[in-house]
Chains A and B, each alone.
Chain A
Amino acid sequence: SQQGEEDPQALSIQEGENATMNCSYKTSINNLQWYRQNSGRGLVHLILIRSNEREKHSGRLRVTLDTSKKSSSLLITASRAADTASYFCATVVSGGSYIPTFGRGTSLIVHP
């Protein structure tokens, strides 16, 4: 399966600390996306990184992609209580379906 698998499953930190979540996948990808899901809500697209990119930034978010290791990481700097949510990576395979395949997510709790 080419789905992403996030690690850790759960992460608990204090406000102001950085949060790092990892995603591993199995086959060649066109792009990898990160989404946030607040409890009981829909997914919100955070950032997309294409297979020929190594790093992208968006505000306090930093995403890296290592295609040789088939892994990606999402770093949230200076976390806030409002960052408490589940974070999912989703992979779009190269040369195949354009449908993103989601992992099981990392549940992040940021304590005020």
Chain B
Amino acid sequence: EPEVTQTPSHQVTQMGQEVILRCVPISNHLYFYWYRQILGQKVEFLVSFYNNEISEKSEIFDDQFSVERPDGSNFTLKIRSTKLEDSAMYFCASLREFSSYEQYFGPGTRLTVT
């Protein structure tokens, strides 16, 4: 069964450094998402992406965040200058049809900012 993959599974970085989290969505899906989950808390929406542009973003997704789909398969989330509070699990999700609402989530990348 097709699945969303994410790399790396765990990323440790120092405060102020840039990180890029990578996702490979399911190949025939058209809508892509990033979420984050701070340990023990709820899953929070960051950004949605469709047709090579951001379709929606939350207030969390400020100027230090960016997303890209550089090659038609990978979907990346970049954090330019990480802060301690960026430590969280970051999940990528993809959706085939807008009307289905059924998002497929990747296993997540645990980001630890020290």
Contacts and interface: CB of A to CB of B under 8 A. Distances in A.
B45 A101 contact: yes
Contacts of B43: 43, 88, 90, 102
Given A102-B42, A103-B42, A104-B41, A43 B105 contact: yes
Interface in B32-46: 33, 41-45
Interface of B: 4, 33, 41-45, 48, 56, 91, 93, 98, 101-108, 110
Nearest to B57: A99
Contacts of B41: 104
A40 B108 CA distance: 8
A104 B42 contact: yes
Interface residues on A, range: 20 to 34
A98 B101 contact: yes
A48 B108 CA distance: 22
A105 B40 CA distance: 9
B11 to A, nearest CB: 15
B107 A45 contact: no
A3 B41 CA distance: 13
A41 interface: yes
A33 B101 contact: yes
Complex A-B, nearest 4 residue pairs according to Cβ-Cβ distance, in ascending order? A42-B105, A102-B43, A43-B105, A104-B42
A31 interface: yes
A97 B103 contact: no
A21 to B, nearest CB: 15
20 contacts: A3-B42, A33-B101, A33-B102, A35-B105, A40-B108, A41-B107, A42-B4, A42-B107, A42-B108, A43-B91, A43-B105, A48-B102, A88-B43, A90-B43, A92-B101, A98-B101, A99-B45, A102-B42, A103-B42, A104-B42
Given A99-B45, A102-B43, A48 B91 contact: no
